[in-house]
Amino acid sequence: MKTIDDLGDLRGRRVLVRSDLNVPMEGAPEAPRITDDGRIRASVPTIRELASRGARVVVVAHFGRPKGAPEAKYSLAPVAARLAEVLGAPVVFAGDTVGPEAQAAVTGLGDGDVALLENLRFNPGETSKDDAERGAFADALVALLGEDGAYVGDGFGAVHRKHASVFDVPQRVPAAVGGLVLAEVEVLRRLTVDPARPYAVVLGGSKVSDKLGVIDNLLRLMVRGDRLLIGGGMLFTFLKAQGHEVGKSLLEEDQLETARGYLARAEEAGIEILLPTDVVAATAFAADADPQVVAADAIPADRLGLDIGPASGAAFAAALADARTVFWNGPMGVFEMEPYAGGTRAVAQALADATAAGALTVVGGGDSAAAVRTLGFDEASFGHISTGGGASLEYLEGKTLPGLSALGA
């Protein structure tokens, strides 16, 4: 992959930077509040480097899932304000993607200036499955750059999407990978090419079906003595596959045979799969619904599991203590509610301890990354916190990611 150094002298040139600024936000459209600015902060180093080289930086990104037309609740305006604060420099915000406001904003940039265009997904061409429609939008983005424009792909959270700004634009102008994406790829390669062992993977989240590909590929990558720890809502499908009742817990009946197959494959290969021995179960999906710690193989019929229990948290921590490589994707429970945050907190602390002991620890983006920040952990306590949960998982599945292939990876 070409890096920013390969783009040559950037002074006076317009550089389109595809960043990932899809941050969680709450509140009404007229008074939104960013609840986790991790992706904004992770995007700033590349933007700052380009500006320091005299580039006229045009940042593009998406937010949420609008239907190809402007929606106030999905505007990037609040992100532009926060980006300027973190960057420590003004950020011109354009209220459209390739229209008059974008053209005026880009034309008005001086060397080292930064602009952010409105949500890419307000234009249907960004996500279109029609190559011509997507290509037309890519052409419009490229036209903003002038004759000597360039592109930097730095939105790792979007590289698994075949979108105009991710896949088509870098094939039309000189393109390079940004520092954030480069760091993500280097870490993921360490997870998939001769990882230091013992190798431990912690998977959580709600559904087994969301993790089928990554579990399948990890079982091929892992060797005897490696460990796969399973928590979150997906654990109940595995418990049911072992013949245990799970009460009202989340369950994917159509994945029971798949779960049994994974358990059998792991046992045959000498890979240890750790399932919780206790869970925190409640009568309803609510913080005050009488949460109780119960045995994982004896969940009452009127309760649903919402976190792994304290004994399981301790067992998971012990299983990670001597690991040399740890990858974690997916919380152990509904960490947003304090009664169900203990399992996720225990795993996060175990990763922090493993980092201190010299292991490579990777928090695989998405809810896991949000969890460590919400629970008050110092980001420096982990080897790497990914900005792209879905992209990380697809990489670990062994899939070709369109955004990386367009950049020569």
By annotation, the residues acting in catalysis are 39, 207, 366, 390
**CA distance readout (Å), 277 to 244, 294, 313, 341:** 11, 9, 9, 17
Give the long-range contacts of residues 52-55, CB within 8 A, separation 24 or more: 52/112, 53/4, 53/9, 53/10, 53/11, 54/9, 54/10, 54/11, 54/12, 54/111, 54/112, 55/10, 55/11, 55/13, 55/14, 55/15, 55/111, 55/112, 55/150
Is 161 annotated to bind a ligand? Reply is yes
Is 118 annotated to bind a ligand? Reply is no
Is 121 annotated to bind a ligand? Reply is yes
Is 366 annotated to bind a ligand? Reply is yes
**CA distance readout (Å), 186 to 176, 293, 343:** 15, 40, 29
Q: Which residues of 251-282 are buried (b: 16+ CB within 10 A; e: fewer)?
A: bbeebbebbbebbeebeeeebbbbbbebbbbb
Q: Which residues of 87-112 are buried (b: 16+ CB within 10 A; e: fewer)?
A: beeebbbbbbbbeebbeebbeebeeb
- Smallest CA-to-CA distance from 57 within 140, 151, 147, 127 is with 151
Alpha-helical (H) ranges within 147-211 are: 179-192
Is 119 annotated to bind a ligand? Reply is no
Is 63 annotated to bind a ligand? Reply is yes
CA dist 107 and 98 (Å) reads: 12
Is 20 annotated to bind a ligand? Reply is yes
Is 156 annotated to bind a ligand? Reply is no
User: Which stretches of 207-364 are assigned E, i.e. beta strand?
Assistant: 227-230, 272-274, 278-282, 292-295, 304-308, 325-329, 360-363
Is 53 annotated to bind a ligand? Reply is no
200 - beta bridge partners? 227, 326
Is 113 annotated to bind a ligand? Reply is no
Is 335 annotated to bind a ligand? Reply is no
Is 167 annotated to bind a ligand? Reply is no
Is 21 annotated to bind a ligand? Reply is yes
Q: What does the H/E/C string look like for 341-375?
A: CHHHHHHHHHHHHHHHCCCEEEECCHHHHHHHHHC
Is 62 annotated to bind a ligand? Reply is yes
- Annotated binding-site residues for (2R)-3-phosphoglycerate read 39, 121, 161
- Annotated binding-site residues for ATP read 211, 305, 336, 365-368
- Annotated binding-site residues for substrate read 20-22, 39, 62-65, 121, 161
- Annotated binding-site residues read 20-22, 39, 62-65, 121, 161, 211, 305, 336, 365-368
